[in-house]
């Protein structure tokens, strides 16, 4: 099951909706939704994600979270390590070979490590109009 599939199933359960009811509402087949939930289909497109958000009344953070889950829901992952270090290539191979054996707490720990290592500071916004920089640009000789 993919992260998107698990969330979709939880949303259906929360609202007491069957697979057939949701499929009809989204105008897709029940087989397609079942395949999405079970990780047998690739990640859904943004259009379907928006439809699902609408069907369940998800807005703001919940909608953003569902879109992020969809991006992380490719059931067959390929990692291109061309141009990476030997250590990075070895890590990718070790994860691919051993991921099924990892206990949930190890998976959570790896997520935490990746979250910490990949967090980038938010870009600083330029000051709004009326700042010294903005005023200098507005003055013409």
User: Could you give the C-alpha distances from 53 to 9, 29, 66, 79, 89, in angstroms and in order?
Assistant: 13, 18, 8, 30, 37
Residue 38 pLDDT greater than 80, yes or no: yes
| 117's tokens | 């290592």
pTM of the complete model beyond 0.75: no
**Residues 5 and 74 sit within 8 Å (Cβ to Cβ):** no
- Give the 3-state secondary structure of residue 65: helix
Q: CA-to-CA distance for 128 and 88, rounded, in angstroms?
A: 42
Q: Name the 3-class secondary structure at 140.
A: coil
- Supply the pLDDT for residue 119: 78
Average pLDDT of the residues in 46-69: 95
As assigned by CATH, the class of the 3-71 domain is mainly alpha
Query: Residue 124: its pLDDT value, please?
Result: 59
**pLDDT tens by residue, 73-92:** 988 889 999 999 999 999 99
Supply 27's token pair.
Answer: 């105008």
42: confidence class by pLDDT, cuts 50, 70, 90: confident
| Contacts of 25 by beta carbon, 8 Å cutoff, 6+ apart | 55
- Burial of 100: CB neighbours in 10 Å, binned 0-12, 13-18, 19+: exposed
With a cut of 50, say whether residue 135 has pLDDT above it.
no
């Amino acid at each position: 099951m993919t992260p998107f599939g698990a969330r979709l199933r939880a949303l259906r359960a929360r609202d007491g909706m069957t697979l057939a009811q949701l499929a009809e509402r989204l105008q897709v087949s029940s087989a397609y939704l079942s395949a999405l939930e079970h990780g047998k289909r690739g990640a859904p497109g943004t259009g379907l994600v928006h439809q699902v958000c609408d069907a369940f009344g998800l807005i703001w953070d919940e909608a953003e979270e569902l879109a992020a889950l969809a991006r992380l829901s490719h059931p067959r992952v390929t990692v291109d390590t061309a141009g990476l270090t030997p250590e990075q290539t070895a890590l990718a191979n070790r994860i691919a070979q051993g991921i099924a054996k990892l206990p949930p707490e190890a998976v959570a720990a790896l997520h935490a490590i990746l979250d910490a290592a990949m967090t980038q500071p938010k870009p600083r916004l330029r000051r709004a109009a009326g700042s010294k920089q903005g005023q200098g640009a507005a003055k013409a000789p």
